[in-house]
Amino acid sequence: MKIDELRSAVAGMRDEIVRMSAIEDITPEDDIILDATIAEFEAAKFDLDTMDARNARIDAAKATVVERTAAVSPTIMRRVDPTVLDLRTATRGEVRDAALKVLENEAGTINTPSGDKVDRLLRTHSHNVDGSQIGRRLIITESDAYRSAFAKALTQNTPAFTAEESNAINEFRAMSGGVDTAGGFAVPVLIDPTIILTSGAAAAPVLNLARVITVTTDSWKGVSSAGVAWSYDAEASEVSDDSPTIAQPEVPVYSARGFVPFSIEIGSDWPAFADEMRVLLDGGYVDLIASQTMTGSGSASPTGIFTALSGNAASTTVVAVDGAFSAVDLLAVWKNLPERYRGNASWIMHTDVENEIRTFSGTASGGYYTVNITQGGVGTLFGRPVYTTDYAPQFTGTTAVANILTVGDFSNYVIAQRAGMTVELIPFLLGLTNNRPTGQRGFFATARHGFDSVNDRGFQLLQNT
């Protein structure tokens, strides 16, 4: 595109942004369009600035070489340097480029999937995610000064910060909202499980299946629809009204807290600080998600998949015999799952429920499944993978209401993680008997996340009632 055409396009997008930002009752659809227009404007503006700078350098070179006039100061393209970038005045594009540079320099510290995820987040700007917030966090917390200050703060009772470390801490707290300015320290991005956590956690199989979304807002908001209802109409006749019903599912985020005690001896001799912090933070955080994604109450806490589906008649299949569980129940629950969700469906159940399926007799009436006990597990049902977790409900044989297993397309289950975990040091712990010091300290960590089903019809829950 020629520079005049590009300049005209930038001006047009700017006018459109001004127009849409003046709308008082903006709809979710308009909000998405506005975000996309802003992103397109920033990309075009960057290209325009680049072309202007190049032309200015060419003009400067001509004035020096051809006209032999006095020395001319050329206009040089500014390269973003994360060490000198003023985050308070930097544009979103400058923050993104600087953060990507930091990520490139630190590529060896995290695995490829995690690095790719952070890269995508930095380039995202929508009504749920502002990548520049994560970029600012990355630039500051991954500096040598902040990392060393973070290590001191969490291993020393009264840390002596250098001037550079103090500046890094103060800069982050001045730049970021929602950070405890009285003693909390933001976890560096590349060891922060709310940002780099990816699928593959054996302890929380739902992380392999659900939509895991990092947000910078207080809730995730989406747009859903059952689809457009098509119809046949006579030639040249008015088309029937086939407009779909648009819904906006919302997943609120809640505050999660973790506490890790450790001895003073460990704190004073910790050579692999960052790696050990990643292990500690990941372990407890994944364990919490594993539990809550199954049976979270949804009251002042996230909603687990079994909780979300229980009570929804359209998404519940009842066992054929009260208090029993047999192969015919598997046939029924699979039949009741809508066809459009079967192709990407997965089964989730407790190991105890899987053991019940293992023992379905191949010869008894109504039995269709027998697995050799030496094999690894059931593996698949109806061609779809089976995942087990001890946080799912067990089969008890009760005749009361009890959940047994669920099957469905888990892209309809959203895990929304608000970017950023904060940790602070509890300088000493006291014993319960005499309230005397135990020789231990503790990490107090806080993070925010939420999860819920955003389309219950994408699942079927097998239940005893």
Residue 244 lies in a domain: no
Chain segment 220-259, per-residue pLDDT in tens? 888 766 666 778 888 888 887 777 667 778 899 999 988 8
Host domain of residue 49:
3-65
- Tell me: do 400 and 419 sit in the same domain: yes
Helix ranges (DSSP H) in 256-338 = 264-268, 273-295, 305-309, 327-336
- pTM metric for this prediction: 0.70
Residue 84 lies in a domain: no
Calpha distance 77→54 (Å, rounded) = 7
- Tell me: do 178 and 202 sit in the same domain: no
- Tell me: do 435 and 302 sit in the same domain: yes
Domain count, the chain: 3
- Tell me: do 310 and 458 sit in the same domain: yes
Residue 72 lies in a domain: no
Which of 156, 182, 208 marks a domain boundary?
182
Q: What is the CATH number of the domain that holds 363?
A: 3.90.1690
Residue 458's alpha-carbon distances to 126, 228, 383, in angstroms, are 26, 17, 17
- Tell me: do 146 and 206 sit in the same domain: no
CA trace torsion 418, 424, 430, 432 (10° rounding): 0
Task: Give percent above pLDDT 70 in the chain.
Answer: 83
- Tell me: do 311 and 383 sit in the same domain: yes
CB 183, CB 173: distance < 8 Å: no
- Tell me: do 12 and 100 sit in the same domain: no
Residue 81 lies in a domain: no
Which of 278, 283, 277, 281 has the alpha carbon at shortest distance from 152?
Answer: 277
Residue 234 lies in a domain: no
- Tell me: do 175 and 32 sit in the same domain: no
Residue 239: its pLDDT value, please? Answer: 81
Residue 82 lies in a domain: no
- Tell me: do 435 and 377 sit in the same domain: yes
- Tell me: do 352 and 305 sit in the same domain: yes
What mean pLDDT comes out for the span 411-433? 88
- Tell me: do 302 and 446 sit in the same domain: yes
Residue 83: its pLDDT value, please? Answer: 53
Residue 243 lies in a domain: no
Position with higher pLDDT, 276 vs 294? 294
Chain segment 157-213, per-residue pLDDT in tens? 778 888 888 888 887 777 655 444 456 788 888 888 888 875 444 568 888 889 888
- Tell me: do 126 and 154 sit in the same domain: yes
Residue 149 lies in a domain: yes
